[in-house]
Amino acid sequence: MPDSDTTVTLGGYVKADAIWSSRSASADNPGVITLGDQQVSPTSIPIGPNAGQHKTDQVTMHARQTRLSLGTSTPTEYGKFSTFIEGDFFGDSPTATESSTSSTTFRIRHAYGTLGNFSAGQYWTNFFSEQAYPETLDFGGATGEIFIRQGQMRWTQKFTGGDWSVSAENPESVLAAPGVGTTFRSGSDHAPDLTGRVKFGAGRGTYTIGVLARNIHIDTASAVGTLPAPVSRNKWGGALSITGVTPIGRDDLRFNVNAGNAIGRYQVGGIFPDGYLDATGQLHLATQASGYVAYRHFWSQKWRSTVEVSAANSNPPAGTFSCTNNQNPAATCITKSDRSQHLNLIWSPVPAVNIGGELIHVSRTVVGGDHGGLNRVQFSAQYNF
């Protein structure tokens, strides 16, 4: 900016997606815009041998991933002072339909400020390194990844070869219980989620180790209908996450491994409950694990491909939940595991343009053993500015 030390950056992109799905992953509500047909949404995968058979060969086209961002940067005696706001059009809009304008709602993705080592606002969780995400055309991405943005306060300290960071982040407990149709939020959170992460370089690669501590809490019996009042109202749990980006010539290998008993809503799509309540009112945590591996290969300066495989698994305690509905989209069934594979080919005729196609397969198994899956072909055009 003239007569100022402040730099202002306007950025973003326009992205159009055309998607064919072997089976629809949307609810039976004609004309209503549904997320499951526009990106991989694990909890929307049809469950059971006949689920979704009346809606095969589903075609969807949209531009909801289109994104806008505004950033500022100013040097100060305390270090760099910066702000960043970013949003896209994947916000919820209950009145939006595909009948005429396909209107959707703008939503905040990031909104945070930084002064020196301290930052506050909404951003990627500090538990995971967003730099390790695979490059997929599908906005949902690998089902084995950690994916969450939320309000937080963070301290970051650099050291030779990397940095360490700690944060206090917004808590939210998502629970499951027998006799309740789907997961529910407790509405009572007494302690922030706590994270710590170390980022370091080794050779030409970049790696992170993140830890997470959470207080899973339930408030009153009214939250779970006819169940008795909770005997145990809260439990502390945790998780570990390891990520890496390893260059191999011009190519790179990306991976992520997660394990713990409180991954819960941090898993992409919020597919796992944070806690499970049994019929006696006891609160339980479940062993959960997830991860992915992705290889990106550059065929030439303008052509590249990524192949990704991922998995996520949970072991709900016995007697805490049973699947009550095997109908599409099986929203009342608690996920036990899911899988995904992505393979794409992307052409960048100029650096700011990405045009490509992607083959996608995803599957899901719920408590009780019912299984479902879908195949997808996606074409995308992205124009960055």
Q: Where are the alpha helices (DSSP H) in 45-87?
A: none
pLDDT of 32 higher than 60: no
Interior angle at CA 372, CA 367 and CA 375, nearest 5: 150
Query: Model confidence over 218-233: pLDDT tens digits?
Result: 876 445 555 556 666 7
pTM of the entire structure?
Answer: 0.89
Q: What is the pLDDT of residues 95-147, one digit of tens each?
A: 666 766 777 889 999 999 999 999 999 999 999 999 999 999 999 999 999 99
> Tokens at residue 367, please?
């408590």
Please enumerate in sequence order all residues whose Cβ is within 8 A of that of 30, keeping only pairs 6 or more positions apart, or say none: none
CB 223 within 8 A of CB 184: yes
Sheet holding 174-176, edge to edge: 184-185, 174-176, 275-277, 283-284
* Topology, domain 7-340+348-384: Porin (2.40.160)
* Residues 317-375 pLDDT 10s: 876 665 554 444 445 578 889 999 999 999 999 999 999 999 999 999 888 778 888 99
The amino acid occupying position 320 is T
